[in-house]
Structure 1
């Protein structure tokens, strides 16, 4: 079996850093577009398409609590210049200045350097989204060496899937693609021991492309030799009242080996703090944890919910996903309820609250569905969802 050597591990760690920078930068670019900070601008009879004003960007970072002050905001933007993500529209300045100067994302003007490393990571993201949005059974809770790994896949089945999706012409080509994905930190063996080979070994996606990032992560050195959980952005649960750790909610009813954390150095203490939706599976000192208890005070049956005069009112909510998802957890079975809400996510801004019961998604009644069906309906549907809920009048 082809075990990992130090050169491969070192390269994967470097590619993980690059991948995180690419994801963080793209999430910021989309957010600035949505808030209309990026637009065509004129100066001295010249038009600069898709550009933003440096000073306005600094103000935006502070207003959104992405940076504590202007110095940190400048440092964050300089980090993006150093990694060829943004540049001055005329390339007159190599340093980011808190001034009325025009800067632009290289992805918006076609100057982003598509080197081989970037191409592999971008292809990995496309494959990740294709797997996550499909209804196949490629990603499952699987066991290896007595431990269970959530959303893992068998190498040989992944190769079959690549050929089926016409991502590779034959098994040899598919295996080479898997090896490139591993060397670029897109996937990883669950125990971090073996390179990618056409076998029954288990692997997971190492980069979670959907996780909501904070820009401050650009300035924090990431730990190595980890595999990120691939729970979607609407999987979030607080572990207990005395810790800042967060765990993902999984469909599995069994226990699993997982360690989760919140980057407290990146978060404020108020409700606007960032809640990480990306728990990390660790290879050292694992902790066995069961699935969370329901947030409902007591079980509620469908008959009770729909009974005449029941103390529940209906609401129609419109949720528009941000670049990484919707920001809430659905759990239960006939009826399903909202288990948790990311306070900084799209769902919270739309009025989604814990303990609400899900009645319909985009006009489709889901009162007789379990949480898996609702999850798939959301993930495979449009970016904007119309969700009808029922909430207790006097909780």
Structure 2
């Protein structure tokens, strides 16, 4: 049975990172007493919830804008073998007084190696954040500041001292595994993990809570030609007035208003590299922002042209401190990417960003070979203070 469950889990393509986020939401349901022992037809079912009550909770806590979206979301959790009817009598999630349960609560969900590694990384991160005089600090490398950093050998010392591993060899092996799963990295992405003074960092801010609707809107990767602009950088209009529109600015100064997307939901709409649900865009209640469909570049630019000796480009370093809803710019294209739009009242504009600039590096990592969904992911998993190197044509 365990092997069958494991094969079903893997066949559905579930991302270990997204599974962890769902488990995090499950803990909130336990805390809110929605998940508890319930009695039905003279039988007690432990750790279950009532479907109708959970749908109400999703709406009340703004995890879903309406009942239809909430039902679709929970159906996806059923399809991905995360929740089930307590008697497995229903394959569909019904918004009724029926009892469902997380498979992790009754031991029928297989925790494969990927999920276990991700949860171990989260546990270590929380411990390090909460201790006094933590080894996680803001540090500088090549004049660039990085968040959530640690020195490799100091991490090894800490893991052994705290009993997380039996010896230094096991500690190195643990850190190598965390690096392979994208939980930690060398700040410049150039090295594997070593018991040395190399500067590393946690790539993931485990304290950033995702909404469940982000998972509902995560689609399979699309090609650049059919993907919209990355909307992580659009800024809210008059946020203090509760407005739910964003502003996108083109070279022609034409203004387009698109659906509201907060910074917390960027990865799903930007075409993240680890999709959790393979559904059509129409299933989500938050449509992708289709804005600036044509490139603002007068002509395509290649990396060879950009890096050739005597090329008419200059490099500039921009330090952008994001606000509550983003950084205020739009990235488009790939290999290299370019700045498609800049909000004139946003952080990026204040830092000197301009349209048509070509993105050279993100927080010290060269990104000339990457497309914009990948760059979007790098920005979202990085610190709020964003350091971009851009190439600008000499006029």
TM-score where L is the length of structure 1: 0.52
Where 1:195 maps in the other structure, the secondary structure is coil
Q: 1:193 to 1:94 in 2, by over 3 A?
A: farther
Alignment partners' CA distance in 1, 2:208 and 2:155? 22
Query: How many Å apart are 1:71 and its aligned residue?
Result: 2.4
Look up the match of 1:288.
Answer: 319
Q: Does 1:176 align with 2:178?
A: no
- 130, 134, 137: which one pairs with 1:133? 130
- CA deviation map 1:205-255 (0-9, x unaligned): 12222222211121244999xxxxxxxxxxxxx99968979xxxxxxxxxx
Alignment partners' CA distance in 1, 2:87 and 2:94? 14
Q: 1:157 to 1:214 in 2, by over 3 A?
A: same
CA contact (8 A) 1:175 1:198 kept: yes
Alignment partners' CA distance in 2, 1:78 and 1:240? 34
CA contact (8 A) 2:219 2:268 kept: no
Look up the match of 1:123.
Answer: 120
- Identify the range of structure 1 (109-118 vs 158-167) with the bigger mean alpha-carbon deviation: 109-118
CA contact (8 A) 1:19 1:207 kept: no
- 181, 184, 187: which one pairs with 1:190? 187
CA RMSD of the aligned region, Å?
Answer: 3.5
- 87, 105, 110: which one pairs with 1:108? 105
Paired residues, number: 233
Query: How many Å apart are 1:265 and its aligned residue?
Result: 9.8
Look up the match of 1:153.
Answer: 150
Where 1:84 maps in the other structure, the secondary structure is coil
Q: Does 1:143 align with 2:145?
A: no
Q: Does 1:202 align with 2:199?
A: yes
Look up the match of 1:313.
Answer: none
Alignment of 1:212-223 (within 5 A): 212-221=209-218
Q: 1:222 to 1:288 in 2, by over 3 A?
A: farther
Query: How many Å apart are 1:104 and its aligned residue?
Result: 0.7
Q: Does 1:263 align with 2:269?
A: no
Query: How many Å apart are 1:142 and its aligned residue?
Result: 1.4
Alignment partners' CA distance in 2, 1:286 and 1:42? 62
Query: How many Å apart are 1:103 and its aligned residue?
Result: 0.3
Alignment partners' CA distance in 2, 1:130 and 1:67? 31
CA contact (8 A) 1:21 1:218 kept: no
Query: How many Å apart are 1:291 and its aligned residue?
Result: 10
Where 2:145 maps in the other structure, the secondary structure is strand
- 56, 60, 64: which one pairs with 2:57? 60
- CA deviation map 1:134-172 (0-9, x unaligned): 113411221223311122111121111111112223322
Query: How many Å apart are 1:179 and its aligned residue?
Result: 0.9
Q: 1:164 to 1:286 in 2, by over 3 A?
A: farther
CA contact (8 A) 1:81 1:94 kept: yes
Could you tell me which runs of 5 or more consecutive residues in structure 1 were left unpaired when the two chains were aligned: 1-13, 225-237, 246-259, 268-284, 293-395
Query: How many Å apart are 1:114 and its aligned residue?
Result: 2.2
Alignment partners' CA distance in 1, 2:144 and 2:320? 12
- CA deviation map 1:114-143 (0-9, x unaligned): 222222122112211111111134112212
CA contact (8 A) 2:211 2:265 kept: no
